[in-house]
Amino acid sequence: MTFEVKVPQMGESISSATISKIYVKEGDFVEKDATLIELETEKVNLVVSAPESGFISKFFVKDGDEVEVNQLICNIEAGTKNDAKPQQKEEIKSQEVVSQSGNPTQISPAAQNIINNKELDSKSIEGSGRNGLITKPDVVNSTTPKVEQKSASTQTTMQSTTNNFGEESQVVKMSSLRRTIARRLKDAQNTAALLTTFNEIDMSPAMAMRKKYQEDFQKKYDVKLGFMSIFAKAASLALKELPAVNAQIEGDNIIYKNYCHISVAIGTEKGLVVPVIRHCDKLSFAEIEKEIINYAKKAKNGTLTPNDFVGGTFTISNGGVYGSMLSTPIINPPQSAILGMHSIIERPVVVNGEIVIRPMMYLALSYDHRIIDGKEAVTFLVKIKNYIENPERMLLNC
């Protein structure tokens, strides 16, 4: 029986992807759920697995191909390793590797298939067979780590060019994610009437609250209290009071959202991603922190899914973690506003007629002036300032 493996549905608004890596070849035997290929979409990387055990009879794509949803990737002939045809057995004969000790080691076909499918480091597996042959039980019982995957940037082929002065440059093809980021940012500039308003916040009260309750908070919830959860909570309360900032334009209509799904910008090796914390207004500080940590881990491990990015109504970006003092962030369409956090820097400020040193942060709110008036934008930012400088207001919602 032949199984057709096709490009799966990849989430809201994603219709195409790039083949970033192929893990098997024609003639290979694969177990059910073994990884066949990796797809790079405009948001995340996804893997396509084997629907059944069998042999790869035909591949219809290659590395770097642009593919559409439901496009045929390969065919799998159902079966077991014992069903292999003579010529297929010849293709997967024992391979030789150099072990950590420096000696050449043979690997049985069954063991090699498992090593390929699980991406194991064969050099650290000790063989128990004759003359050190690595057998299937050796691989199954091994605790060897996976082979470290190279990042997309290192997998990309680079071309060198030299100008008339003998100066060399490298030309690297943009990844699908980077192309999408570039397109969306430019579309936002071309479509929205972008405007940015600024304010500054005295972080002393928030910092004092963290210092006072951090130990008890961490002991109870097993997570640290960070500034992002404090700002996310403040923003969600302000969005409730100023619904236009939480709305979006759709054709000739304005869609007002009765919920707060806040997108949190997270930096990765491949670019900025903005997974969504849903119903942020209903979550506690601890619940928000756990959501952020979970997304950060998934981003690092490359396990974010398209559904993690769906439905955001407002975005928060913290450029301060990179040392940014001030910026004008660009909105994340179809959202209408984005809050930019920045570095906390001690500066002289006037308090009650006296010059004092306080830890200050500049805040920036970029917004679509087609839907949000200046008064609403400024009021929104002032409300966040009041919440952060008076954290008890977030408990009282006033």
Annotated catalytic residue, options 63, 187, 222, 369: 369
Annotated catalytic residue, options 83, 216, 222, 373: 373
Q: Known catalytic residue: 369?
A: yes
State both tokens at 128.
Answer: 């128990």
HSE toward the beta carbon, residue 233, CA cutoff 13 A? 27
Contact yes or no for 264/332 (Cβ under 8 A): no
The string of DSSP letters for 74-96 reads EEEEE--GGG--HHHHHHT--EE
Q: From its phi and psi, is residue 232 left (phi > 0), alpha (psi between -120 and 50) or beta?
A: alpha
Q: Known catalytic residue: 261?
A: no
At 337 the three-state DSSP class reads strand
SS3 content of the chain, % helix, strand, coil (to 5): 35, 30, 35
| Distance in angstroms (rounded) separating the CA atoms of residues 5 and 72 | 6
| Distance in angstroms (rounded) separating the CA atoms of residues 224 and 226 | 6
Tokens 């073994």 correspond to 34
Query: Which residues form the catalytic set?
Result: 369, 373
